[in-house]
Amino acid sequence: MNKNIGIWMDKEKAHIITVKEDGEDMITIISNIEDFRIHGGSGTRLKGGPQDVVQDSKYLEREKNQFRVYFAEVASYLKEADKVAIFGPAETGEKFNKELKEKYRDVSAKVEGVFKADSMTENQTKALVRDYFKKRKKSIA
């Protein structure tokens, strides 16, 4: 039996849905990525001094590392998958797919696509993934 896994992910969390004959299993991973709000200003009247640039790069580097940890955790659940579909709003799914291509080639080969999908309830997310793989099965048969 094929092990099909769909992921709905954004910056805050990833719902990993494994589609089975008798339904779906869902695991949720919280990203722990801080919501960075970069504030300019160093207490001087002059806006955007060089220290702000240093701060920006520190925040961005920290965020990048937090994404790496998050993506590594999500990728660890995909090793047993036969097929993977990635869903989500914004660019998190694209970033994750890029990370898979660079660092997890074995998992990357199983990715069928990255699809835009807005936030939805857990049941809607399960239905989205279930329906996706049902349609794929029919189009192949």
Judge whether 140 and 112 are in contact, CB under 8 Å.
Answer: no
- The pLDDT of residue 113: 94
Say whether domain 4-32+48-140 belongs to CATH 3.30.420.60: yes
Question: pLDDT by residue (tens digit) across 64-117?
Answer: 999 999 999 999 999 999 999 999 987 999 999 999 999 999 999 999 999 999
Output the 3-class SS for 86-105: EEECCCHHHHHHHHHHHHCH
Residue 122: closest CA among 20, 24, 21, 38: 24
pLDDT at 20 over 90: no
Instruction: Map out the domains of the chain as residue ranges.
Output: 4-32+48-140
- The pLDDT of residue 138: 75
DSSP state of 39: P
Answer with the residue of higher pLDDT: 8 or 52. 8
- Please give the model's pTM, rounded to 2 decimal places: 0.83
Question: pLDDT by residue (tens digit) across 116-140?
Answer: 999 899 999 999 999 999 988 777 6
pLDDT at 39 over 70: no
Strand partners, 4: 19, 83
pLDDT at 57 over 90: no
